Amino acid sequence: MAAISLKVNGRVHSVDADPETPLLYVLSDDLQLRGPKFGCGLAQCGACTVMMRGRAVRSCVLPVGAVKQEEITTLEGLGTAERPHAIQQVFMEEGAAQCGFCLSGVILTAKALLDENPKASDEQMREAMSNVLCRCFAHTRMMRAIKRYQGELA
Amino acid sequence: MKARFSRRDFLQASGALVVYFSAAPLVESLAAAQGPFATHPSHIDPEKLDSWLAVASDGTVTAYTGKCDFGQGMYTVQTQLVAEELCVSIQKVRLIQCDTSITPDQGTTSGSQSTPTNFNASGLGQAAATAREILAGMAAQKLGVPLQQVSIEEGVVSAKNGGRVSYGELIGGKHFDVAVSSTAKRRSPDEWKVLGHPIPSMDRAALMTGTFEFVHNVHVAGMVHGRVVRPPEIGATIAQLDDKSVAHIPGLIKVVVRNNFVGVVAEKQWQAAQAAKQLKVTWKPGPGLPPQKDFYDYLRKQPARDGMLVNSRDVDERLKSASQVLKATYVHPYQAHGSIGSSCAVADVQGDRATIWSATQSAYPTRQGISELIGIPVESVRVIFVRGSGCYGLNAADTVSYDAALLSQAVHRPVRVQLTRQDEFLSENYGAACVIEQRVGIDANGAIAVWDCETWAASMGGRPGYDRPGNVITGMLAGFEPEMVRPRSASEPSGDLRNGSNAVPSYMAGCVSGKCGGTGSVRSERVLTHAVKSPFLTGPLRSPLRLQNTFAHECFMDEISSHVGADPVAYRLKYLSEPRMLDVVKAAAKAANWEARPSPKRDAGGRGKAIGRGIACVAYEGDNGYAAMVAEVAVDPASGRVQPRRFVVAQDCGPVSNPDGLRNQIEGGTLQGMSRALGEEITWDGLKVTSIDWHTYHSLPLGIQVPEIECVLLDRPTAEATGAGETAITLVAAALGNAIFDATGARIREVPLTPDRITAALSSLHQTAGFRKHLPSAQPSPAAS
């Protein structure tokens, strides 16, 4: 165990954890954040996704000790119900979910790509989303919401 | 968790509670807000209105339902129902779902039964209508006017003489003390102000901003973390367990063994995960598994529990006299629920009392199961539903609730158990593998003279219900027996037609005891079903058996129409008698601009990219929703890759409570069906399951080319409300199979419809001389085959 300092959603936290602990466990157990979720624990589904250095990162396999000074943003760090981020807003308007458990993977993976490349082609978007799963298969609405968000960036 | 409340205390306090809820809808912890309770076995009498509704002095309504939301939209739509019947806005209603201390026992939320149960003349809707009538009567008396002279708007009753009184003033904080009236008049769909409208699902803001509380997010003071160590294969038993192998792990609290159940508990989740991984257990191998490649033959040869659903007793004779007999065998693999979130639960067992936070579909049955499992009285167990990730049937939500209860009991602390993806894939209750054999006799005019169908479905375990904890893996490992198939021969059908599993094709008349309950017109009919002992645990997976059977029926109907050179839509219409079925088929064909012609297409079997369309329809469970689907696909014959381009779904589920929610179910069901049809299959070697993660069990990701989905909703305001969440998915494998056939001439009778199977079928077609003449792909044979 070690005292680890972690900057998450704009706030600095100090947690006592084995540096090998997956970041996800620290976010959900120690910081009690609800955005990133345990889906598979194998970096295969996306439910645990967080943003780090502008990239979508799978927190279920990232040791907390490797985060160092990097700031972490989770789904709840993007915006709030009252002041949602634009991509959250279009997801709300499109009703782009059923159970909603996968949303960190869906929203943050798409956002990371579009932040880097607002003109990403459909092919590039499909590539980015090719290992993101939604088992309710709300794909139609999700991809529509992402497309709308991309339109707003233009 | 110390204070003990009764439901009465809860109701008395509910005014304050309702205000609290309204201030923080769905974002606050429901578990914490609902507070602790003592439980009593029969304390929530569904006959009593107070069991369903409480009105606070500020006029807000708390409603209690035994049907819960897993993402299918039941929270929103039940809120609409209560608001509609009580003439208040949805903001005034707070719904409490599935908590054995405070909600009525409505069994299991499953089988597309929530809408039929609570939206027709019973359950929650009837209770809310009763409350409205009672309140109107109280108001009329108070205002000194006849009942006919009052009207209600937004929870305020007004009289023609100008008098007004609110619900809160009439009954706020007090009990109704009356029974639910079976004659209370329901608001009709033409009066609806809240129901019938596309109200956005109420969980959206919390979901999209990551603040929604799932069961995975429940935190209880003093909570520690558990993991399980499952046997690597079904039937394996502990030979040796060395708990010293994990003694070095910091934070380890205990290694818990009960019969063949093994779990570990540690202060932190990572420590528990490490302990589960490092614990040395030597397992005595299980009995082994029948080879997967011959499994469907194996299934057909096992002793079985038989059921005869229809038997016109002339089938053998008519098959003999038919001018041609067509036969085909369809097979469907085991599939997983594969919830995106591996299952999780929290249990707090202290002495003779237990509280379980669970995503189970079956709060009350789970309460009973846990009582048996840990040996404390059922009255002392409380199960609180907290939503998990979408379950699509019996995923591991029940079993992980058992895991948490066993571990908490062993360490006397609240324990959260998170299953791993491998835990869940290894031993969840899979959707059943099936074999379905079809035979029809065709007369000289190309008409169906007789239809004979025989099915085999693998079965072991299932929903634990109130008395079978062994039906899921934890109970089984802890020493309880799963429900086994008891072989017996079929008795002749009697009573009403039973078609809950859609074993009876839609085209049969379904005549039993002189009454024809089917949706079709074929009167020489026989359906014999066999339940066969499964080597794996099985359980309901969205559209259980209905999907497998419909795949076989609807593909076979396509084979028949192709054989006689008829258009698949026209040929279906000829044999359907139920008007609602006729309507959905016509509506889907119309919306899809269906081109009437026989399948396959004239140019099918070529080497270039092939485009085709297929249709399928179903009367879900015989009468619980009607739908037809047209699928359009492009097939690359070289690779066998199928690209579904468009689905058109026409659905009739009676009055539509929320068109947006319904569309969401149809869209999701269609794509989930596509994933199951094209790639999902449980695989195994001689000993163990090998599809244990998302690399070995193939779910279509977000990055596919998402086909267009068009929904045609046939609103039937005067009909009874039916289920709607499992109808579209039932049709996808059949519609795709038929579209692939239309495009290429290759008939794939095995799900998943993989590229390998398609290229193999195409190459055998190409090897057949005179390919065009052999297009009827069911095996035609002279009579008496």
- Please report where in the chains the tokens 């449980």 appear, as a residue: B682
- Separation of alpha carbons B560 and B575, rounded Å: 12
- Quick check: pTM over 0.90? yes
Q: What average pLDDT does this structure show over B539-565?
A: 98
Choose the closest CB to B699 out of A47, A98, A135: A135
Mark whether A146 and A97 lie in a shared domain.
yes
pLDDT, residue B176, reads 95
- Is the pLDDT at A66 greater than 70, yes or no? yes
- Separation of alpha carbons B644 and B635, rounded Å: 8
- Separation of alpha carbons B123 and B127, rounded Å: 6
Rounded to the nearest angstrom, the minimum Cα separation between B761 and chain A is 28
Chain A contact for B201, CB < 8 A? yes
- Is the pLDDT at B353 greater than 50, yes or no? yes
- Separation of alpha carbons B757 and B774, rounded Å: 19
pLDDT, residue B29, reads 36
Question: What is B400-436 written as a DSSP string?
Answer: HHHHHHHHHHHHTS-EEEE--HHHHHHHS-BBPPEEE
Mark whether A100 and A133 lie in a shared domain.
yes
Tokens describing residue A80 = 């709030």
- Is the pLDDT at B33 greater than 70, yes or no? no
Choose the closest CB to A136 out of B71, B201, B701: B71
CA–chain centroid gap for B318, Å, is 38
- Is the pLDDT at B37 greater than 60, yes or no? no
- Is the pLDDT at B42 greater than 50, yes or no? no
pLDDT, residue B184, reads 97
Strands (E), B40-199: 53-55, 61-65, 93-97, 150-153, 156-159, 164-166
Mark whether A51 and A113 lie in a shared domain.
no
Please give the residue range of the domain that contains residue A49: 2-77
pLDDT band at B6 (very low <50, low <70, confident <90, very high): very low
- Final residue of a structural domain among A34, A60, A77: A77
Q: What average pLDDT does this structure show over A98-103?
A: 98
- Is the pLDDT at B32 greater than 50, yes or no? no
Check CB contact under 8 Å for B672 and A137.
yes
pLDDT, residue B121, reads 87
Beta strand pairing call for B93-97 and B61-65: parallel
pLDDT digits (tens, 9 = 90+) for B391-431: 999 999 999 999 999 999 999 999 999 999 999 999 999 99
Residue A115's nearest CA partner among A72, A60, A52 is A52
On whether the CB atoms of residues A21 and A60 are closer than 8 A, the answer is no
Phi, psi of B157 (to 5 degrees): -95, 125
Mutation target vs A (from B214, B271, B671, B702; most A CBs, 10 A cutoff): B702
Check CB contact under 8 Å for A45 and B694.
yes
Mapped onto helix, strand or coil, the DSSP state of residue B19 is helix
pLDDT, residue B781, reads 53
- Is the pLDDT at B560 greater than 60, yes or no? yes
ipTM over 0.90: yes
Mark whether A102 and A133 lie in a shared domain.
yes
Kindly list the distances between the CA atom of residue B192 and the CA atoms of B87, B153, B166, B267, B718, in Å, as whole numbers in the listed order: 9, 13, 21, 53, 13
- Final residue of a structural domain among A77, A108, A123: A77
pLDDT, residue B766, reads 83
Question: Which residue does chain A place closest to B665, by CA atoms?
Answer: A98
The length of chain A in residues reads 154
Task: Measure the CA angle with vertex A20, ends A15 and A21; round to 5°.
Answer: 55
Out of B111-125, B338-352, B376-390, B587-601, which region has the weakest mean confidence (pLDDT)?
Answer: B111-125
Q: What average pLDDT does this structure show over B473-501?
A: 97
Mark whether A110 and A128 lie in a shared domain.
yes
Phi, psi of B69 (to 5 degrees): -100, 125
Q: What average pLDDT does this structure show over B559-587?
A: 98
- Is the pLDDT at B38 greater than 90, yes or no? no
Mutation target vs A (from B208, B391, B700, B704; most A CBs, 10 A cutoff): B208
Check CB contact under 8 Å for A125 and B73.
no
Check CB contact under 8 Å for A126 and B700.
no
pLDDT, residue A21, reads 98
Rounded to the nearest angstrom, the minimum Cα separation between B269 and chain A is 7
pLDDT band at B767 (very low <50, low <70, confident <90, very high): confident
Mark whether A11 and A63 lie in a shared domain.
yes
Please report, for the domain that includes residue A126, its CATH number.
1.10.150.120
State the amino acid at position A15 in one-letter form.
V
- Is the pLDDT at B774 greater than 50, yes or no? no
- Please report where in the chains the tokens 């485009």 appear, as a residue: B611
- Is the pLDDT at B608 greater than 90, yes or no? no
Chain A contact for B217, CB < 8 A? yes
Mutation target vs B (from A122, A139, A141, A149; most B CBs, 10 A cutoff): A139
pLDDT digits (tens, 9 = 90+) for A67-92: 999 999 999 999 999 999 999 999 99
A-proximal residues of B, 506-525, CB under 8 Å: none
Question: Which residue does chain B place closest to A27, by CA atoms?
Answer: B217
pLDDT band at B780 (very low <50, low <70, confident <90, very high): low
pLDDT digits (tens, 9 = 90+) for B254-292: 999 999 999 999 999 999 999 999 999 999 999 999 999
pLDDT, residue B595, reads 96
pLDDT, residue B320, reads 97
Choose the closest CB to A98 out of B72, B212, B421: B72
Q: What average pLDDT does this structure show over B63-69?
A: 95
Greatest CA span in chain B, whole angstroms? 90
- Separation of alpha carbons B618 and B615, rounded Å: 11
pLDDT band at B147 (very low <50, low <70, confident <90, very high): very high
**Strands of B150-153's sheet in order across:** B150-153, B156-159, B164-166
Residue B397's nearest CA partner among B424, B377, B379 is B424
Check CB contact under 8 Å for B675 and A44.
no
Choose the closest CB to A99 out of B390, B669, B693: B390
Beta strand pairing call for B164-166 and B252-258: unpaired
Check CB contact under 8 Å for B211 and A81.
yes
- Separation of alpha carbons B143 and B137, rounded Å: 10
Q: How many domains does chain A have?
A: 2
Mark whether A37 and A9 lie in a shared domain.
yes
- Is the pLDDT at B70 greater than 50, yes or no? yes
pLDDT digits (tens, 9 = 90+) for B635-659: 999 999 999 999 999 999 999 999 9
Q: Which residues of B touch A16 (CB under 8 A)?
A: none
Q: What is the DSSP letter of B157?
A: E
Check CB contact under 8 Å for A142 and B702.
yes
Mapped onto helix, strand or coil, the DSSP state of residue B758 is helix
Q: What average pLDDT does this structure show over B63-85?
A: 96
Mark whether A14 and A58 lie in a shared domain.
yes
Check CB contact under 8 Å for B250 and A1.
yes
Mark whether A58 and A105 lie in a shared domain.
no
> Which residues are bridge partners to B262 per DSSP?
B257
Rounded to the nearest angstrom, the minimum Cα separation between B730 and chain A is 15
Check CB contact under 8 Å for B210 and A1.
no
Check CB contact under 8 Å for A101 and B270.
no
- Final residue of a structural domain among A56, A77, A98: A77
pLDDT, residue B776, reads 47
On whether the CB atoms of residues B458 and B533 are closer than 8 A, the answer is yes
- Is the pLDDT at B332 greater than 80, yes or no? yes
- Is the pLDDT at B15 greater than 80, yes or no? no
- Separation of alpha carbons B768 and B611, rounded Å: 22
- Is the pLDDT at B8 greater than 60, yes or no? no
Rounded to the nearest angstrom, the minimum Cα separation between A136 and chain B is 6
Mark whether A62 and A6 lie in a shared domain.
yes
Walk me through the domains of chain B, giving residue ranges and CATH numbers: 7-208 (3.30.365.10), 215-286+337-427 (3.30.365.10), 302-334+432-781 (3.30.365.10)
Mark whether A146 and A91 lie in a shared domain.
yes
Mark whether A43 and A60 lie in a shared domain.
yes
On whether the CB atoms of residues B452 and B439 are closer than 8 A, the answer is yes
Phi, psi of B450 (to 5 degrees): -160, 145
Check CB contact under 8 Å for B390 and A76.
no
What integer best gives the mean pLDDT of chain A? 97
> Which residues are bridge partners to B769 per DSSP?
none
On whether the CB atoms of residues B367 and B378 are closer than 8 A, the answer is yes
Residue B544's nearest CA partner among B234, B106, B108, B233 is B108
Give the DSSP H/E element, type plus range, for residue B731.
Answer: helix B727-744
What integer best gives the mean pLDDT of chain B? 92
On whether the CB atoms of residues B286 and B233 are closer than 8 A, the answer is yes
Chain A contact for B702, CB < 8 A? yes
Please report, for the domain that includes residue A25, its CATH number.
3.10.20.30
Out of B111-115, B404-408, B631-635, B780-784, which region has the weakest mean confidence (pLDDT)?
Answer: B780-784
- Is the pLDDT at A114 greater than 70, yes or no? yes
On whether the CB atoms of residues B561 and B440 are closer than 8 A, the answer is no
- Separation of alpha carbons B635 and B451, rounded Å: 31
Q: Give percent of chain B above pLDDT 70.
A: 92
B49 or B9: which leads in pLDDT: B49
Q: Which residues of B touch A79 (CB under 8 A)?
A: 209
Q: What average pLDDT does this structure show over A49-78?
A: 97
